[in-house]
Amino acid sequence: MAAPQDSNETSYLFPPNSKDWEEQGIPDFVYGQKELVLEGIQWPRTAPSLLDTTPWSRFDSALCSAWRQRMDLGLFRYRLGELQTQTLPGAVGFVAQLNVERGVQRRRPQNIRSVKQAFDPEQFNFNKVRPGEVLFRLLREPDLPGALQQEDILVMINVSPLEWGHVLLVPEPTRGLPQRLLPGALRAGVEAVLLSSHPGFRVGFNSLGGLASVNHLHLHGYYLAHRLPVEGAPSEPLDPGGRLHLLRALPAPGFLFYTSGPGPDLEALISRVCRATNYLTDHEIAHNLFVTRGAPPGKTSPSSALTGIRVILWARKSSFGVKEGEAFNVALCELAGHLPVKTSQDFGSLTEAAALALIQDCLLPSAQAEEVQAALVALVAQDKQ
């Protein structure tokens, strides 16, 4: 993916001399309602490479120019080149990518024992990152709904990137919040997707036990120039008001929340999603969440237009630690259909059936899944909307 050039965003770049980094303050990226773009962001009808010719938003320009500079300054654990990518043959449309360096060089996950584990300041956390790893502070203007509850969201590089522009959204890191989703963090994630003019900029969340490797509240954001199955997968309503839907399609059944844009509808979605994740956390049920532009609920297709924001939530078996022998680990992007594969051998031999087997092995037993579904439907029924 080509990084945009924008001379107006040089304030997001760091001095080339590392001796000057400590004195460099964190720049603010301030945005308003008019920059949350909902309409007109679609996939090219032909080659994804045509995305490089589309106009970039101010958010994309700031993020990508600063991210690329940090790569040039050597702040990542490895230099991310063009990743070998393939769409696995089959009905699902898995996008597999070979990323050997991430499999080898990423930080070892922390010792997590519970979905509700408390924050431990002695463990690695995002207060300990180097100054150059923070790109900017994401700030909303007071014209946006919920602005009074705005949190200090730092956008920083993921030093072991999955793909181009892989960043972390970290709310008020000095508060020492554990990895439990909060409304302000989810709002920042959804609005980051709306700030990007790239249809493949997605945001996600891994709970503890859902392969979060750091117990300090954060979301992931990254660019992937490929459609994913969850964008247009058909769904069925689980409540009469159409506020909660079920995706039955492969690669994994998930709960779908949808909003057609910023405003009261978005605030209601954030509230519903966080009530659902609170239930899962309180009941020690690991989960993953994925935010993407997508089609409205109902009878859609993989090529449906991106008319709003889909938030997909998966409840899953807890997995503490990393399974070293598997082709990939199952977390937010894998459940959405993006498979970062660790070795060349696995990349060359991976089939749709093998990928589905790995993913389905992480899902809840059917009886527990039905219990969770009933509980989430009951939570939505309490909604006054």
- Quick check: is 166 catalytic? no
Domains, the chain, in order of start with CATH, read: 77-384 (3.30.428.70)
Please give the single-letter amino acid code of residue 48: P
Q: How far apart are CA 2 and CA 103, in angstroms?
A: 24
Cα angle value 147/150/154 (rounded, 5°): 140
**Per annotation, catalytic residue among 166, 198, 216, 218:** 218
Q: What is the residue-level pLDDT of the chain in tens, covering all 385 positions? A: 554 444 344 479 988 777 777 777 899 999 998 999 888 899 987 655 555 667 899 999 999 999 999 999 999 999 999 999 999 999 999 999 999 988 676 666 778 899 999 999 999 999 999 989 999 999 998 775 655 556 789 999 999 999 999 999 999 999 999 999 999 999 999 999 999 999 999 999 999 999 999 999 999 999 999 999 999 999 999 999 899 999 988 899 999 999 988 888 999 999 999 999 999 999 999 999 999 999 999 987 767 789 999 999 999 999 886 666 788 999 999 999 999 999 999 999 999 999 999 999 999 999 999 999 999 999 999 876 4
Strands 338-341 and 95-98: parallel
pTM for this entry: 0.94
**pLDDT on residue 7:** 38
User: Hey, what are 73's tokens?
Assistant: 């300054």
Compute CA distances 130 → 28, 119, 150, 291, whole Å.
Answer: 18, 20, 25, 28
pLDDT single digits (tens) 1-13: 554 444 344 479 9
Q: How far apart are CA 312 and CA 259, in angstroms?
A: 12
pLDDT single digits (tens) 179-195: 999 999 999 999 999 99
| Strand, coil or helix: 96 | strand
**pLDDT on residue 5:** 46
Tally of helices (H runs) and strands (E runs) in the chain = 8, 14
